[in-house]
Chains A and B, each alone.
Chain A
Amino acid sequence: MHSNSQLAKQINTTDSSGAFFTWLKIAWRLFVRELGRGELTIIALSIILAVSSVMALSSVTDRVEQAIMSKSAAFIAADRDLQSSHPIDNIVIEKANELGLQTDKHIYFSSMAFAGDEMNIAVVKAVTETYPLRGELFISQDLVTNQSVTKKGPKQGEAWLSKRLFYALSLDDAMLSSDTPPVVEVGELALNVTGIIESEPDAPFQVFDSGTRLIMNIGDVPATNVIQPGSRIFYRDLFAGEAGQLDELVQWLEPQLKPNQEIRDVKDGETAMSNALQRAESFLMLAGVLGLLLAATAVAVATRLYSQRHFDSIAIFKTLGASVQQVRVVYLFQLVLITIFSVLVGIIIGSLIQGVAVEAMAGQLPKDLPPVGFKPLLIAIATGAVCALMFSIPSLLKLFSVPPLRVLRRNLGDNFATSIMAKIIMAITTILLVLIYSQNLRLTAIVMGAGAVLVAVILVVSNIMIRLSRKVGSSVGGSAIKIALASLKRRASENTSQLIGFTLAIMLILILYSLENSIIKEWQQQLPEGTPNHFVINIAQHELEQVKQEFEQKDIVLEQFYPIIRGRLTTINDEVLLQNDRDKDKSGAKLTDGEEKANNAQTKAENRASDEEEGSESEGRKGIGRELNLTFTELFPENNTLLEGEWMTEGVLNQVSVEKGVAERMEIKLGDKLGFLIGAREVEVNVTSIRDVNWNSFQPNFFMIFSNDVVADFPATYISAFYLSKEDKLWVNQLVKQFPTLSIIDVEAMINEIQQVIEQVSVSISFVLLVVVMAATLVLLAQVQSSLDERRKETVIYRTLGAKGSMIQNAITFEFLSLGAIAGIIAALVAEVSLYLLQSLMFDMDWVPHPELWLIGPISGAVFVALVGTLSTRSLLKMTPNELIRQLS
């Protein structure tokens, strides 16, 4: 008796290893033959695309990012630093040295500096001789020629002074380069003044700093005897080295951080530079993710086509008695071979692209690009492999399930519906890929959200489309349109997947294009040509007119003058605020931070931090915790935006305009009554407007602006900004000599650095956009290709029935035109939603509608898809029906 189990046994007992190798041999043979005959072109191209674009994108962005990071590391004069208001244990430096990092140690404090009979408060920075680890320190030894040289930290016994301190102490600039340099005393120690600080890489960028800076060697600090218990001291350990070493140090350090200690890298501060960098980084990451999605789409489309074309072969294999296992081994191994081949080609092409790109952008990119690391290579290989295997699963499952009976019933298995399981597998793979690639939950969530919107919209639209075409089909004249509509209707389910491909490609281009535009535009607006590169501060009221005259004589345009008065917010609507003066417990930080840095967004971060700290300590509404720089003007500040209320209504007394962030934190609303203590006087004002302030602009910015009547009779000092050309730099020295109390802050170096970084990042962003556009084009091509087989059959029928070539051509063009336009409309819609999510959640930008997308999307979609579709189906129309039939069989 022949039972089933006996048969099964018989199958299992066949010599499996020999058979297995024969199956691999068949797979290899199929691979070689199909490769040679161009049948694997599409699937190979899509994997090559995935690998090469991911490789090129991640290596270029990786290299640019590294280069920019090291460049911008100059802004903290190191790659990482540890800040503390208590002395930092030596084991930190020891550990860093052990890891092979370069190190530097700073102490900051204020002390009186004496020179002869003169004295002035000095903000002291004590450094080691390795300072700066990153960036350049310019020290001038000759104030007459103003020529400066780059230096490392001063030797023991030496001190370098800012110009302001130098003149404030009435030191003689002629002595500077002589054998007997001027001497300055800090505490009990006398130091030789051997240089003037021209620029420090990590100078705090603050308009209201006193500007009386002094750099000395850290080894001299004990001898000064100024550091006593209770002194306000701020400590910094600085590190530079390889990313891996730095990460290791940070990982080691983080768990043992004490309160008031913080590890930073250049991205952590909320400076203009770090904002630009973070935004660029987000953009590059997003572009990489979108490139990845496109590549995955291409693979999914291509494997689907591949499967469709292999239905017959599988049916033949099965008819000849191939078991499902044999079919799986043969085709999976073939897929593995295709993947290996395509990944290798992809890596070569990817390296070439990135080489060419770096070469082409050589002028704009940082000079010293680090070599390509292994990371992009690994990411590219993993992407190619994962895409090829995971995104081909639905198609392969379908392929494996083709019944052998197809040899007799030729259309069996044609219905290509993707199973829910396969869809879930693809969705999970996509999410994991995005998550792994970006390591960013928020971005992954945005991508998922946008994806869900996309699928929902496409389902609705394709449904409507099918219904409409059913109705319109019989009434519209012109047989080409009729055929096209009939085709759209007949291929409704296939069109849905085509639509997803088309839409995805168009949408991703639209998103990146808009983002690129708005990011670069915003950067350019931030620092237009002629941005003031100097600030003049501390102008006494009685000198104001004289200073203005000096500028007029030199023909230098000054920006708006702002008077500055210091005061403290004491009440809101008569409720007395708790004055938990953070100076008392965060005194160290105050020293480097100077006073209020109206121009620096870091203030915002600090305020937030101090609010959080205070929040847990006591009940009641808290004050800002320190004195504010207040101003009064009735001219609306240029880079502010009025959010609520009205700006300084004429004839109304006691008005105040409040910055949005402070208003939110202090829960100040329009119409609230605020009480300030200015000097010894109490002042009451009403909130008449709320402003948004661009903290990244190089302009004086204020939390509180009063109407002129409130504080006009208080003694104020004035601040303004101006643009100074290189040739006029020496004039500044004269000005400072003439008005010793005023201070000039040169921010040109910083602006230049930022502009350079922005330019470099802009170039790499444009390159990335180009790669993604290329990838999208290939996806569109693959998508059109995948419908060609079906079209071939139809063309045969129409041609055999005697239809004119031009009519069929028009029908195909019209079909693709409408598909492209529909895809373009959906793409614009979903792109708009995605842009809203991206700009508000990722890029911290204000979202504005993008009306141009609604034009660009449908038009470019229709034209592009129709062009690609028409061109690739043209060959069909040139063939005679006989040739077509031969090709089909």
Chain B
Amino acid sequence: MIELLGWVPLFPFLGFLILILAGERLSKPLIAWVGVGSVAASALLAALIGAEFLNGTMQPYRLVLGVWMEVDDLSIPFGFYLDALTVTMLFVVTGVGFLIHVYAAGFMDDDPGYARFFAYINLFVSAMLVLVLADNLVLLYLGWEGVGLGSYLLIGFWYEDPNNGYAARKAFVMTRVGDTALLVGLFLLFTQLHTFDIQLLMLRATSQWTSGSLLPVAAAALLLGGALGKSAQLPLQSWLPDAMAGPTPVSALIHAATMVTAGVYLIARTHALFIMAPSVQFAVAGIGATTLLMAGCSALVQTDIKRILAYSTISQIGYMFLALGVGAWSSAIFHLLTHAFFKALLFLAAGAVIFCFHHEHNIFKMGGLRKAMPLAFWSFMIGSAALSALPFTSGFYSKHEILLAVFDASPGLWAAGCLGAIITGIYSFRLIFVVFFGRKCPVTKARVGWQMSVPLILLGALALLGGTLKIPLDSVFPVLFNHDHTFDLVSVVTALAPFVGLLIAVLFYLTHTFSAQRLAGSGLANQMRIFCFNGWGIDALYGALVVRPFKSIAKLNKNDAVDGIYVAIALLSRVGCSRVSASQTGRIRWYASSVALGAVVIIAIGWLS
């Protein structure tokens, strides 16, 4: 079964080809069958391969399908590499991806671009699978750019609205900044170590470079740049909230469960390099901690249901970076896994709410949905519980593990993580109390089809119980020796932090003991609220630092000085054309005499030279 690994990314790609070439001519059910079926086949195959792998010796497996390019001493194969990390990622991408596809079949039912949607999202899944399977950095980069393209196409899926196109371009350009760093990092690694093969690169890096010297630090920093862009971490995070312009299944799949975690995967995959560069690894932790706090604060004050979840995603990926930074590699991947479950669940439940409210996003225009939409309500309850890491949900296991590991590395970062956990509790339950409790709002259509409800139920089960799905990653990562924190103070404080957040949310939004309006009403607090609401002014900062200077430079050269040369050439050619055309008189007398004249001239030239 494991030899069929190549089919895992190929199925969705075939689906993409069929839908993009013939999609407009197929009937709707057939489109859904192709679009969902391709991912289903891929998920089934991945499950079988994963089971075979996990029940076997867990030795890494390599599959080379052919040579991609071969020039001189550079040889890049279409090579796939399967180890426990890849298997985890395969489960996330195909499993969660499949559920979201089923959901999308219902969610997008009345959209005229049904075929286009499934074509794009199949392309995305295929590229994401190439990314996680690639055994060399160039193939990984192909997947990396492929998911970027898929993300761009799907954010701008409803392209009639120029704002969506703007959001798509913003996401593409901002991630390109990171991608460029990654590309430069690739070049650096190849020129120094003469291979693109990831395992060989790690081997050569550890044997040829000394820890902490310039080369590993530079290479790790450049890879980190790529990871920051893709995973929406400081300072390249501001594209993700805007990316919510895409359809909700897209937000669930690309901007929560899979693509945005690609940065985490990249760092985990090249962890040997990061170990060689302790300063960069510490920066990863610092960036993670800062991002999780900043994004958490922003999530506190948002009013758009999807933007709350977007900021929460940034914040949760911050936790993963924090874990990577302190060397808790497998905890980071574990959190990636559980986060994929509960965040996809939250997004899909939010999608159901939005669906029933006719694309209303403002949570303060909703309310009292607990009875009207019990499925969405319970989905949100489970999702939020897991998100804020209440005990015995999946998120608890992973986040708890991360925070304990962080405490051993740096108590300061641990405190930041715990503060983040409190904030997470507040904004998660603020959302629930506002939307599902309180004043009742009329709902136009409260029923969702089975395509949408079944994935919610399955993801709910995963979010609740996914903590037991721990995949043994010890064969991939160096083992971290934890202190035993089983029932000491640190462990208890870490576990209690979300409850503090929950309590605050209850007081403010359920019982209204304190009023959030009054708190935010005064001058300074209100300004802080607006500051957080706008994502800490990152956009304004880039506007002032990059966009405006660039525009003014462009304005300086409005008439394109270089173009003048080409205009002159064109003008000259036209003049030349009209001059020589005058010789074509059509008169035979002139033609005959020109032959004689030409003869005289060439004989003269011949004699004179």
Task: Report whether chain A binds chain B.
Answer: no
